[in-house]
Amino acid sequence: MSGLRGHSNRVAAGEWADAQIALRDSCAAQDRQAVRVVAAQATDADDCRELLAMLGLKAPGQG
């Protein structure tokens, strides 16, 4: 019986890891979209950098 419980825990851990990866990917996609919206609305590069910094976002290529 304990062998089955161990299997169940591994499956649950795998599902949790998959959910974490999906969450990370979703957040990254939302961040990219937010950067595009900010860039489209900013008046110049300095304005864009300042707005992104306020939101805790980085422009592509800035890490």
pLDDT, tens only, 2-58 = 555 666 777 788 898 999 999 999 999 999 999 999 999 999 999 999 999 999 998
Residues 21 and 30: their CA atoms lie apart, in Å, by 14
pLDDT of amino acid 1: 47
What is the full DSSP assignment across 3-30? HHHHHHHHHHHHHHHHHHHHHHHHHHHH
pLDDT of amino acid 7: 66
Buried b (16+ CB within 10 A) or exposed e, 10-40: eeeeeeeeeeeeeeeeeeeeeeeeebeebbe
Rounded to a whole number of angstroms, the distance between the first and last alpha carbons of the chain is: 48
